[in-house]
Structure 1
Amino acid sequence: MRYFFFIYSFFLSGQIFAQHGYPVPQKTANHLFYIQHSENKNTFVYDAIFANQGVLNDSDPVDIYRILYAEEGQKKPLTLTQQKFAYGLKISKIDKNIFQLHLVSYPAQKLTLKLNSNKNPIVQTKLNNKTITLNRVFLKQKDGTSGLSTKIEYMIFYGKDSNGKSVQEKLVL
């Protein structure tokens, strides 16, 4: 019975949170996380930028670009509107190789860019009293909103907890 409950719960949570059929961008050595949304499968990718080996670039530690999966998968820079109002980051240096980040569209959710014990770049955030090493974020757009008046219904953060277990946390806005 316990096994059945686990399978049922897993299936149910997958139905609530999964984005079936969405592409997964190719992971690079400097990959941090990516964002997808409910309106199309285009993806916004965040990669770390190093000044030299083991040292993040102080003035510009994150490269942000989009992959237009809806248009044959071209890689393009963010538009000015995307940078200023949606997917751009505000970045503050805290210490050597440690930066506080937040999306320009949601400054309340703080992110921390740093190097892990293997000197690999990671981004962590805290949600529902859990620290998550971020892998991806999914944004559910409110029906009937678009353009600069786009409203987000909820965000789902996917990643790993401090024990390396896969987690997903939903933030209703």
Structure 2
Amino acid sequence: MSLDFSKVENNPVPLIAEKHNSNVAFVVYRNKNKNVVVYAANLREDGTLDPENPLDVYWIMFEQDGAPREDLNMIERNTAYGATVKPREGHPGQFEVTLTSLKDRVIYLSIVDGKVVGHGTINGQENCTLERVFVYSTTSWGLPKVQHIEIHGHDASGNAIMEKKLPECGNMADVVEDSAVNDFLLILEEHRKNCERQGKYVEAEIAKNRLEELKVHEENRRKEAMRSRQIAERLGVEEAHMLEFQQFNQVWDRKMDEYERNVEDLVINMREKHKSELLEFQQKLLEKHQKPKFSKDLLNLRRIEEHLARQKDYGEAHKIKLKSDALEAWELEKWRNLKQQEMFQREVTFKQRQKQDLDALQKRIQSGREEQKKQRQVDLERLLQRYQNVKAELQQQQNLERIRHEKFVQRPGGVAR
């Protein structure tokens, strides 16, 4: 097994598990040198994770004889390689691990079949077992420049899986690169001090000038990186808002279209119902048999006609009959006209009642339509206000970041491993 852990193909986990710590969960290593950052579990006597301190993070210095262990320094804990750990809700004995440099994902630390494992998402697949993270960097102006990060592990079926992250995809590249720059400046500063102690003042002057030049270059790089990132953050907020705004309009357009389809069905159904009810009403009016009520004069003439016929006075009876028939025909015509007028009026009243029902429905529909428009406007104002709040909060955070950066520049710089 090769101990050159500056190459991604040389996996340090098996060696570390065998020779150094069998409870290793995963590691971070780099092409910069052979040293490896180990993330190992602290177990109690019963084999469960120590709830007080479940994760131990440290260096194994493979560049040095004996590969000694070294703890992370403060800068490394807070930036490049530190981690926060908390119990996982609803899963006793498991813990959520978030690496300072990979805050976009959560690693679930647990014991599976007596073995320490860290589960998480790799390349979009959930429930993968994280094994190692490799950082590949080059140099620019003598300073390290992270090119990409590889996250290696196994999927739920045990197949190897890898995710490649470019520097702009996450903040591990930035923090690891900052740590590497500090490493380089630390070496150069140590060289300057050695030259000074040995009386090599020309070399010390060269080292001092180089340090100043690199610090200026690094400061400009950090400023440009911060400016580019802040622009990207603002554009990200704008893009997210536009996407949310489009989704908002799509949802509300669908909702209002659905409402219009529903109310159209309601109107059509009511009109069909009214049409059916009107036909039924007209049919009942026609089927209703009513006999006309003749006048007293007509009834009296008919009695006289009958009396004359019984008396065999047919001539007078005929005259009275003609007069009675004419009066009956007149009264029948009058009755029919009145009855037709009555039916027409009852039909008009029936139609008016139907129109009132339809008008009431149309009024309820319009009221619902206005209520929808009002609610849409309220939701839109909330969306815009939320966007303004996010913008203001981001602007405040970016202003504070710039202020902290300026203060950091004005004080003596520190260096990390």
TM range, normalised to the smaller chain?
0.7 to 0.9
> Of the candidates 114, 133, 149, which is equivalent to residue 119 of structure 1?
114
Q: Are 1:38 and 2:31 counterparts?
A: yes
SS at match of 2:77: helix
RMSD between superposed Cα atoms in Å: 2.5
Q: How many residues of Structure 1 are paired with residues of Structure 2 in the alignment? A: 153
Identity rate of aligned residues, in percent? Answer: 24
Q: Secondary structure at the match of 1:64?
A: strand
Is the CA contact 2:123–2:162 (under 8 Å) kept in the aligned structure 1? no
Distance 1:144 1:82 in 2: 22
**Kept in 1: contact 2:122–2:161 (CA 8 A):** no
How far off its partner does 1:105 sit? 2.1
Structure 1: which 5+ runs fail to align?
Answer: 1-17
Distance 2:28 2:50 in 1: 22
Q: How does 1:136-147 map to 2 (within 5 A)?
A: 136-141=132-137, 143-144=139-140
**Which protein shows a greater Rg?**
2
The amino acid across from 1:97 in the alignment is: G
Q: Aligned in 2, Cα 1:162/1:42: closer, same or farther, shift over 3 Å?
A: same
1:29 equivalent in structure 2: 22
One-letter amino acid of the counterpart of residue 134, structure 1:
L
Kindly state the Cα deviation for residue 82 of structure 1 after the two structures are TM-superposed: 1.1
TM-score, length of structure 2 as denominator length = 0.34
CA contact (8 A) 1:145 1:151 kept: no
AA partner of residue 76 (structure 1):
E
State the distance in 2 between where 1:47 and 1:20 align. 21
**Aligned-pair CA distance for 1:83:** 1.0
| CA separation of 1:145 and 1:71: change in aligned 2, threshold 3 A | farther
2:160 is matched with 166
The change in CA–CA distance for 1:21 and 1:112 in structure 2 (over 3 A counts) is closer
The 3 A distance-change label for structure 1 pair 52 and 152 is farther
Task: Determine if contact 1:142/1:151 at 8 Å carries over to the other structure.
Answer: yes
Alignment match, 1:85: 79
1:38-117 aligned at under 5 Å gives the runs 38-72=31-65, 73-94=67-88, 95-116=91-112
Larger RCO (CA under 8 A, 6+ residues apart)? 1
| Offset, 1:71 | 2.1
| TM-score after normalising by structure 1 | 0.76
Asked if structure 2 preserves the Cα contact closer than 8 Å seen for 1:23 and 1:41, the reply is no
